[in-house]
Amino acid sequence: MSKNPKKLFLLSGPLPELNAYSPNVYPLQALLEQYGYLTESCCPGRYDEPTRDALNKFQECCSSGDDISYEETIKRLCRARCGVSDNSAMTASTLPVVHSSPPITVGSIWLQDRLYFQIEKPTADFALDGQRDIFEKAFSKWGEITGLEFKQTNGENKPDITLAFHKGEHDDGFPFDEAGTPNGNMAAHAFPPPPIGGRFAGSIHFDDAELWKKDESTAEGVSLFAIAFHEIGHALGMGHSQDPHSVMYPFYNENLKDFTEKDKEMIKSLYGLRKQARLVAQPEDSQTITLNLGIEIA
């Protein structure tokens, strides 16, 4: 392999007193805002009440019901993860936090039974054939649960879902970074089906500053399967889950291999609505639908 693992952003130092200023608070606020926890106005660099409340909310979400220290909370906040917000309009995460909860849906799904995907820009970290095999495997797992058929296309059909490896700014408003800033902890991000996903609907972007690997035979690097398996969920309309075992848990898990039972229930309920959705008056060429989903988490 021709590149070294990307430098992650790390916070260090003690938590300041409430309303005190500290250089560490600037990046803390950046991370909390980036992932959807700091939504109120705050004073940059000051550990004020909105910043404290946002950190407490993150701590609650990531603790899986256990009491964890500030040091452990910061350690988790700095882990490599998906760049999609945990609490935004994109993920519609307005429901109460329930540990081990199923993923939240974003409210739009694909209606057609067959979806085409295309690798628009591969990584140079390993052979293209290996990348194709990994994406085929990841899509097939989602196909087993949703009943969708996924077909790889090389241009003969218009792709619904595209996959591309980028570095830094890549014109979607969510730049990657390899220099150790808060953006550097994003391994990938994805956009939901239209209309919610806008002009990038169905796009999956991987940070090509990462050292990507095709299997566990290599210690260094990030598992392309684990990240792709997660990001496809976003491209199908799934949001994040607070369950550490879920495929939609936002933090990188190299050992991610399959769905939890709650994952399966949510996915099947979401894509089981397609038959009903087809009965709703839609333009003839419509391939997606926006759903007003009343989802109860128990």
| CB of 61 closer than 8 Å to CB of 97 | yes
Q: 104: which DSSP letter?
A: P
| Residue 54: CB atoms within 10 Å | 23
* Cα dihedral 195, 238, 72, 252 in deg (nearest 10): -100
Assess whether 261 carries a catalytic annotation.
Answer: no
Q: Which of 136, 156, 220, 231 is catalytic?
A: 231
The residue assigned the tokens 């128990």 is: 298
| CB of 107 closer than 8 Å to CB of 214 | no
Residues 6+ positions from 212 with CB-CB distance below 8 Å = 123, 125, 126, 165, 206, 221, 222, 224
| CA dist., res. 46 & res. 237, Å (int) | 36
Residues 6+ positions from 173 with CB-CB distance below 8 Å = none
| CA dist., res. 91 & res. 80, Å (int) | 19
Which tokens hold the place of 87?
């609490």
The residue assigned the tokens 């008056």 is: 281
Q: At 27, phi and psi to the nearest 5?
A: -70, -30
- Catalytic annotation, residues: 231
